[in-house]
Amino acid sequence: MFQLKSEVEIVSNVAALQMEEVTPVATSDANLLAPEELQAKSRRREVGVSEKTSTDKKRERRLKKKRQRLQEAKKQKKSLADKKRTEIKQNE
């Protein structure tokens, strides 16, 4: 059968805090830094939907439209390149 040991053995005479504070040797500095130190703070303040002013809403709309225009321009540029490629292949 299984018997319990009633005696407790002390392995080392080191304080618990001292043992916990020891960092592993193969750790990078990134693991030791706080999240604020790893990533720069955003310059904008975080605002909920109900807290946004009309200026905030207009700014977001302008940025959204700008992104959409850029994506559309990329698609058109790609389609023109594809058309030219097919025309060149047909002429050969």
48 belongs to a structural domain: no
Q: Over 80: is that where the pLDDT of 15 sits?
A: no
86 belongs to a structural domain: yes
Q: Which domain holds residue 91?
A: 56-92
Model confidence at 29, in pLDDT bands (50, 70, 90)?
A: low
CA distance 89 to 83: 10
DSSP, res 48? -
Number of separate domains in the chain: 1
Q: Which two tokens stand for residue 6?
A: 């009633």
pLDDT (tens digit per residue) in 56-86 = 999 999 999 999 999 999 999 999 888 888 8
Average pLDDT, the chain: 79
pLDDT (tens digit per residue) in 43-60 = 777 888 899 999 999 999
